[in-house]
Amino acid sequence: MSDSSRLNTEDSDKEFSLAEQALENERQLLASELAQLREEERQLSVAHSLAKLAYRKSHPADFSFLDMSKSEDRKRVLLEAESRFESFIEGTVVPSYKVDKSGRITYGNKALSGYLGYSREELLAGGLSEDQITPRSCYLIDAEHIKDLSSNLISRVWESERITANGKKMAVGVTLRLLDEESADRVVFLLDLQEIRQLEDELKQRQTLFSALVQEMPHIVFVSNSKGCMRQFNERFYELTGVVPSADNGFAWRDAIHEADLEKWDKLWHKAVASNSSFSGEFRINASDGEYYWHIVRALPLVNPLVGQVDGLLKITIENAVTSEAFDDEASVGSGLWVGTATDIDRRKRLMEEVLESAHAFQSLADQIPQIVWTAGPDGRVDFFSNRWFDFSGLTREHRVGLDFALFMHPDDRKEYMSRWRHCVKTGEAFEADVRLKARKNALADPDVYVKFLARAVALRNYRGGIAQWVGTWTSID
């Protein structure tokens, strides 16, 4: 590039930069003038308001007998409030805007600008309309509330939505204030309900999840008040008993409980109510086949429920003859409600009874055998002796068993016996050994009298082939 061409380019760039700077200076000057004009407008508005207030103070009016249905009285109130409103709305933290009769937004405060994301220039220029910031789904309900201003200066509060500059819908509470009767200008005040709406949505989702969960649970799930009036969360109680939900007045469970268990239920329930504590017990419930099945019933008190939590719980219970009024006294104080479950333990209960019967039968049989009968766990520790051992050794049943029986062996036999026993416990082989056991002391016996026994034991195996238990005997061979 020649020197003359380079100089021409540099001159053009310099002229362009100077032109840009001039435009920037002019923009800043206009912005400064606009800010100054706005400040002057604000000061005039405040001065105007103060002048009106001063005039009203020097010319007091009696508003005690104003009738808002009369046009003249409404005008007097509007005139009185106008001066105070103009200075108040700009400084309030409540998002607010002014709308004319056509729906055009003529003013929006700083709080509204921050809330909806529109600049102050957009809110003050008059280019926005209320239709632009209101979803179509809210038009009708908003229009109905605007009609309130025909007979009242201030509307009722209602829930609606507004649209931000980036298109997001915000849940809001809306209140209207009439400014001028003739022009129908009004001010709209917004209350942010977004967080509350989100909490409501979360609560609904959790209630739906809880409802779906309890419907699939195999347990009976219920809520009860302190009087024992119940509502069911799922169908399990009705499926078990055959009771029709519409015939359940909240006390159908009392007819289902075994008569012999009611006294126990009432005693435990009154104790839980008196101390506002948990409830737990085992009871028999009559099924539709006429049989009684054991259930373990547990309930916990609802402590410090959240606002609406009680109503939310009752809404997802099964429809029956119990009215929500039956719970009103409890809900009003936020306590006196229990949420509980009833779990079928009939098979376990009957199995335990069979095990106990079997244990008693084994004990009786062992006591009839002339040998000392004993059992041990898979690890070789003795967990049972027949009564003949206690008669022989002088020990009581309170004395722990385990491997302490080795202390009664003759010192010369102990090592060999225990070595064989450990080997059999490890391999599962049948056990056999001779051993001398020390008899209990008495007035006629020598303190170190030992009796010779033949010890035998076999392993009982479970369905997997593992050792479940050892059964053994000590037979006297002296």
3-state secondary structure of 12: helix
pLDDT digits (tens, 9 = 90+) for 353-384: 665 666 666 666 767 778 888 889 899 988 88
How far apart (Å, rounded) are the C-alpha atoms in residues 193 and 445?
93
Residue 388 has pLDDT above 60, yes or no: yes
Alpha-helical (H) ranges within 187-298 are 194-216, 236-241, 252-256, 259-275
Which of 71-75, 148-152, 466-470 shows the highest mean pLDDT? 466-470
Burial 241-262 (b: 16+ CB within 10 A, else e): bebebeebebebbeebbeeebe
What are the pLDDT digits (tens) for 8-26?
566 666 776 777 787 888 8
Q: Indicate whether 468 pLDDT > 80.
A: yes
Question: DSSP character for 234?
Answer: S
128: exposed, middle or buried (Cβ count in 10 Å: 0-12, 13-18, 19+): buried
Torsional class of 168: left (φ above 0), alpha (ψ -120 to 50), beta (otherwise): beta
User: Quick check: 346 and 225 in contact, CB under 8 A?
Assistant: no
pTM: 0.42
Q: What is the mean pLDDT of residues 223-248?
A: 90
The answer to whether 394 and 414 have CB atoms below 8 angstroms apart is: no
pLDDT band at 392 (very low <50, low <70, confident <90, very high): confident
The model's confidence at residue 253, banded by pLDDT at 50, 70 and 90, is: very high
For residue 466, CA distances in Å to 382, 406, 422, 431, 462 come to: 18, 26, 16, 17, 6
351 close to 448: Cβ distance less than 8 angstroms: no
H-type helices in 95-160, by residue range? 110-116, 120-125, 139-146
According to the model, what pLDDT value does residue 272 have?
94
